[in-house]
A and B are shown apart, each in its own frame.
Chain A
Amino acid sequence: MHSSNLRAFLDRLIDGLLPLLSLIAALAVASLLLIALNADVGQAYAALLEGAFGTQNAFAETLVKAIPVMFVAIGICVAFRANVINIGGEGQMIAGALAGTTATLALSGAPSLVIIVAALAAGFLAGALYGGLAGFLKAQFNVNEILSTIMLNQVAVQMMNFLLNGPLLDPSEQGLNHIPKTARIVAEAQLPRLVIGLPDGTLLFDRTRLHYGLLIAIVLAAVIYIILWRTPIGYRIRAVGYNERASRYAGISVGRQMVLSMFLAGGCAGLAGVVQVLGLQYRLQTDGSPAGFTANAGFNGIVAALFGGLNPFGAIPASILFGGLLVGAQNMQRDLGIPASLITTINGIVVVFVVSSQILVKWRGRRRAQQSTTRTEVPLDSPIVVEQQA
């Protein structure tokens, strides 16, 4: 290998490893807390790793946890590329789940493919309209989207509480304990479990809960990638995010791009909601809080999207890593009795460390740019976008 090639390779390797190194640094800091609580640090992290990736079932659970995060994150890529800060993933997920579940229940008896396609379409559309509403309020009335999406999240939760406790309540629940949940969806509506047959005949992920939602997420990532980088629609969306004023001068309808980006982002989050019902829970139910159903995927999706460099294909591995952290952390609690609150704390430390490490990537990139003329993408002017060297 030529020495300059080698150098470039090493540079990229180190850039890629930096988040991982900062993850390790965060865990090292967090180990102080473990020591303070008299927990065995080695055992604790072994439990984390084992719980996330240690067995086929553990890895499958990590993926299951990551699937809704992926959907939301893919959508966030569109919104944030347009410089629209969508904090409404939670509400859009709920809207999608409500519409998708309603469609599924209404179509009981129809062929499997019909139900699933209709449910996915209903979920996408409901999420898209709910997201689009925030986009419309921003474009038409200058209502800041951070404000409207935070508020709309709460509205969606109450709407879910109302519907699950009334019109959509499982008929078998009435009079009994009155748990707010819908009826179970029919078997034909359930997404199949995903089992991968290897060439040597062994089955990967056999008897786990991994479902076809993973494949739908990958397809969605491809679709969104193509929309964003291979179509005029995507070009306009990115242009607005890159420089709103210049886009306006160039004749782009900025408002329309904002609504459209929120429509797409909301649709992706809506799919997250309906896929969670069709693939995993087989019914929609609530404990009165949003997280009871969404598991915070609407927020975690933002973190995953940004870690993935606002690229749909980057969002997928970032979601998996995040899912692994969440699933593994629960194993820590189960195996070693480490309190749930310590795990939340550690997650916080990890997020802060990993995001802070980005400065090193930027700094190294800049130094390289000074040293040579290799092509370096300058960080975009948009507030949230983190562009990195591919």
Chain B
Amino acid sequence: MNKRILTLVLVVMAMVVLSALPAAAQDDVFRVAAVAPSATNDLAFSQSMYKALTMLDEEMGDGFDFVFQENTFVVDDAAVALREWASSGEYDLIIAHGSQYGSIIEELAPEFPEVSFAWGTDVNTYGLDNVFAYTAAADQGGYLNGAMAAYMSESGTIGVVGPIEVGDAKLYIDGFVAGAQAVNPDVQVLVNYIQSFSDVPLATEAANTFVANGADILTGSAQMVVGPIAVAKENGLLWFGTQASQAELAEGAGVMFQVYRWDTILRDMIEKIQGGTLGGEAYTLTLANGGLQMVMGQAGG
């Protein structure tokens, strides 16, 4: 490519400075912008937030509006989006849905003290008045799932397919193991962190390997569990899920799903922001506060 001309073109493009930024929103519509690492149809982490926002959208009608940037697994791409939204002044709440985005919020929030941010899953508001933190006590549902699984297992072997050993996946799996062992100390819970959130082929063979070693119940966390769910179905085994309901996909194999109800805390945040409080609070979804819900699958009914 001819570099001189290319440079020229770039300079010309750079000079296309557009008219002033749109004025800040002054109407009654509550506007939310959110960024998430995977797709809105992942049956897992990103879908749980997308669904919560869709729910609020239906509830509040014209009084609510949201934009959603999905598939932002590149951490720095989220930084661009979050900064763009913050400086536009158009949004009443900006959500960074992924614990890997924490350091961006730590940088950004002090620069825009008039903008309200929320991020998770974590409990750290960095001591800032305009940051909400949210997390899910995924170990609680994990414990219930684990206890139920140990109770239902006939072979005494349960397989767990995990992504990397972090965040709510680790919480869920630790809770699951504890729950299973509380019910039956002899139950064998085999855990494999496959080091990827998205590698369906590897997750599937990890599940198959558990089955070959006698597992009659499977569980797991992250979006690659669609593979293990299919394994459970094909082998007539049982599946326990988390993050979002996978009951439809799991059909007859699904027993119980821990579902994140982010809408419960979002409602509270919206109320606070409308009342002038922009942050400073850390929320935790629990079974007690209704933020975590256990949904029965066909095999659990």
B84 contacts partner chain A, Cβ-Cβ < 8 Å: yes
Alpha-carbon distance between A275 and B43 when the two chains are bound, in angstroms:
36
Stretch from A102-110, A242-250, A337-345 forming part of the interface with B:
A337-345
Alpha-carbon distance between A337 and B84 when the two chains are bound, in angstroms:
15
Alpha-carbon distance between A219 and B147 when the two chains are bound, in angstroms:
61
B197 contacts partner chain A, Cβ-Cβ < 8 Å: yes
> Which of B1, B9, B87, B122 is within 8 Å of A177, CB to CB?
B122
The smallest C-beta distance from A20 to any residue of chain B, in angstroms, reads 6
Q: A293-B75, A295-B74 are in contact. Are A181 and B103 (CB under 8 A)?
A: yes
Stretch from B11-19, B49-57, B149-157, B236-244 forming part of the interface with A:
B11-19
Alpha-carbon distance between A12 and B4 when the two chains are bound, in angstroms:
11
B29 contacts partner chain A, Cβ-Cβ < 8 Å: no
A153 proximity list for chain B (CB < 8 A) = none
A135 contacts partner chain B, Cβ-Cβ < 8 Å: no
A318 contacts partner chain B, Cβ-Cβ < 8 Å: yes
Q: Which of B110-134 contact A (CB under 8 A)?
A: 121-124
Residue of B nearest to A314 (CB): B3
Chain A, residues 283-298, CB within 8 Å of chain B (1/0): the string is 1011111011101100
Q: A16-B2, A288-B164, A288-B195 are in contact. Are A56 and B17 (CB under 8 A)?
A: yes
Q: Are B1 and A318 closer than 8 Å at their CB atoms?
A: yes
Stretch from A46-54, A91-99, A123-131, A370-378 forming part of the interface with B:
A46-54
> Which of A55, A161, A280, A318 is within 8 Å of B17, CB to CB?
A55
A36 contacts partner chain B, Cβ-Cβ < 8 Å: no
Q: Are A177 and B135 closer than 8 Å at their CB atoms?
A: yes
Chain B, residues 1-40, CB within 8 Å of chain A (1/0): the string is 1111111011001101110000000000000010001010
Alpha-carbon distance between A357 and B137 when the two chains are bound, in angstroms:
55
Q: Which of A181, A280, A327 has the most CB of B within 10 A?
A: A181
Q: Are B74 and A291 closer than 8 Å at their CB atoms?
A: yes
A100 contacts partner chain B, Cβ-Cβ < 8 Å: no
B183 contacts partner chain A, Cβ-Cβ < 8 Å: no
> Which of B1, B3, B69 is within 8 Å of A333, CB to CB?
B69
Residue of B nearest to A162 (CB): B195
Q: Are B37 and A287 closer than 8 Å at their CB atoms?
A: yes
Kindly count the residue-residue contacts between A and B in the assembled complex, taking CB atoms under 8 Å apart. 159
Q: Are A165 and B166 closer than 8 Å at their CB atoms?
A: yes
A356 contacts partner chain B, Cβ-Cβ < 8 Å: no
Q: Which of A163-189 contact B (CB under 8 A)?
A: 165, 176-181, 184
B163 contacts partner chain A, Cβ-Cβ < 8 Å: yes
Alpha-carbon distance between A65 and B75 when the two chains are bound, in angstroms:
12
Chain B, residues 53-72, CB within 8 Å of chain A (1/0): the string is 00000000000000111111
Residue of B nearest to A309 (CB): B1
A71 contacts partner chain B, Cβ-Cβ < 8 Å: no
Q: Are A341 and B71 closer than 8 Å at their CB atoms?
A: yes
Chain B, residues 148-182, CB within 8 Å of chain A (1/0): the string is 00000000000000011111101100000000000
Q: Are B1 and A308 closer than 8 Å at their CB atoms?
A: yes
Mostly helix, strand, loop or mixed at chain A's interface? helix
B76 contacts partner chain A, Cβ-Cβ < 8 Å: yes
Residue of A nearest to B18 (CB): A54
B100 contacts partner chain A, Cβ-Cβ < 8 Å: yes
Q: Are A13 and B5 closer than 8 Å at their CB atoms?
A: yes
The smallest C-beta distance from A317 to any residue of chain B, in angstroms, reads 4
Residue of B nearest to A157 (CB): B195
A286 proximity list for chain B (CB < 8 A) = 100
Q: A54-B16, A177-B121, A177-B122 are in contact. Are A285 and B75 (CB under 8 A)?
A: yes
> Which of B77, B84, B124, B164 is within 8 Å of A176, CB to CB?
B124
Q: Are A330 and B80 closer than 8 Å at their CB atoms?
A: yes
Alpha-carbon distance between A341 and B42 when the two chains are bound, in angstroms:
14
The smallest C-beta distance from B192 to any residue of chain A, in angstroms, reads 14
Q: Are A317 and B17 closer than 8 Å at their CB atoms?
A: no
A59 proximity list for chain B (CB < 8 A) = 13-14
A16 proximity list for chain B (CB < 8 A) = 1-2, 4-6
> Which of B16, B84, B124, B164 is within 8 Å of A334, CB to CB?
B84
Residue of A nearest to B67 (CB): A334
B81 contacts partner chain A, Cβ-Cβ < 8 Å: yes
The smallest C-beta distance from B73 to any residue of chain A, in angstroms, reads 6
Alpha-carbon distance between A12 and B6 when the two chains are bound, in angstroms:
12
Residue of B nearest to A20 (CB): B9
Alpha-carbon distance between A288 and B6 when the two chains are bound, in angstroms:
36
The smallest C-beta distance from B255 to any residue of chain A, in angstroms, reads 27
A313 contacts partner chain B, Cβ-Cβ < 8 Å: yes
> Which of A180, A292, A318 is within 8 Å of B74, CB to CB?
A292
Residue of B nearest to A57 (CB): B87
Alpha-carbon distance between A16 and B7 when the two chains are bound, in angstroms:
11
Kindly list the 5 A-B residue pairs having the minimum CB-CB distance in the complex, ordered from nearest: A16-B2, A16-B5, A53-B13, A340-B71, A288-B164
What would 15 more interface pairs be, CB under 8 Å, given A13-B5, A179-B102, A289-B198? A16-B6, A50-B18, A55-B17, A59-B14, A65-B80, A165-B164, A177-B135, A180-B166, A282-B107, A287-B75, A292-B74, A295-B76, A313-B3, A317-B3, A333-B69
Chain A contact residues, CB within 8 Å of chain B: 12-13, 15-17, 19-20, 49-50, 52-57, 59, 61, 64-65, 158, 161, 165, 176-181, 184, 209, 276, 280-283, 285-289, 291-293, 295-296, 307-309, 311, 313-314, 316-318, 320-321, 324, 327, 330-331, 333-334, 337, 339-341, 388
